[in-house]
Structure 1
């Protein structure tokens, strides 16, 4: 048999080896993450539920899904172990987002200008009818409004 005939098979076997090796590394990392869980850690299950670890056993984990509500889950059902800041941001609604280095990310542009009072928001009260008098912002809406106004004036001239 010629080497050129065997080359596609060798490449295919090599690619399969690399793919299975990568998958095994991911599985080992996930198993290590699950084994390193400690009571008090925030987790996300593979179903998307967030909970706090209360007890860790060989194959199971006792999770507190709500204050005073406990459930037993298989360790394999834990999708991610979250750090405290991320868990509190997601579950408790803490608005402070963190960078990769752990610093707090401001939620407005005041950090760019240095002036924290410069970010005032204009509010429109729609109940008073201010929105009806407001000018349309895009060109198409202006054209439609202009055409409506012209048809009103043409209709008034025809009726006289």
Structure 2
């Protein structure tokens, strides 16, 4: 009976050791890496947030950081939202100033302004479904130009 008790105790000790090395120790290692990363953050560092957004660190506080996600757009995030995954940018953003400075082709300026204006409308046209008022009467009666219906408010479904 004494050897059964020692084997059971040994089994529990081995299970505890396996649990420690498979679950607890890797978690502590990740927490240490995250803490080291947070202490090494400085303005100008490129980081990835846990949502997948790439950003540049602008300011770092004790619990929060201000990051710039695009030029002029800043967000305040909790420092725990910064992913420990290293950031490798696939491309750098280039200003569009170089493309704006060089025109695509020669600019053609017309001799007169007639080619710049469209035809002048003589009278505004009413929409085909708009009510038409009788100008001869003092009270405007509404008539609808809807085919097949005399009064749109009395149609029964």
Q: Give the TM-score of the pair, scaled to structure 2.
A: 0.52
Q: 1:35 to 1:81 in 2, by over 3 A?
A: farther
Which of 64, 71, 86 aligns to 1:67? It is 71
Flag the structure with higher helix content. 1
Unpaired stretches in structure 1, ≥5 consecutive residues: 94-160
Matched, 1:31 2:11: no
Q: Give the TM-score of the pair, scaled to structure 1.
A: 0.51
Q: 1:80 to 1:5 in 2, by over 3 A?
A: closer
Shift of 1:21: 1.9
Matched, 1:76 2:83: no
Q: 1:138 corresponds to which residue?
A: none
Distance 1:14 1:39 in 2: 42
Aligned length: 90
Which of 30, 33, 47 aligns to 1:43? It is 47
Shift of 1:91: 5.8
- Contact 1:38/1:53 (8 A) holds in 2: yes
- Contact 2:33/2:84 (8 A) holds in 1: no
Give me the CA root mean square deviation. 2.0
- Once the two structures are superposed, the pairs formed by residues 1-160 of structure 1 within 5 Å of their partners are 1-2=2-3, 3-18=6-21, 19-80=23-84, 82=86, 86-87=88-89, 89=90, 92=93
Distance 2:85 2:20 in 1: 29
Higher-Rg member (1/2)? 2
Unpaired stretches in structure 2, ≥5 consecutive residues: 95-157
Q: 1:23 to 1:69 in 2, by over 3 A?
A: same
Deviations 1:118-138 (A, max 9, x none): xxxxxxxxxxxxxxxxxxxxx
Distance 2:92 2:14 in 1: 47
Distance 1:10 1:70 in 2: 51
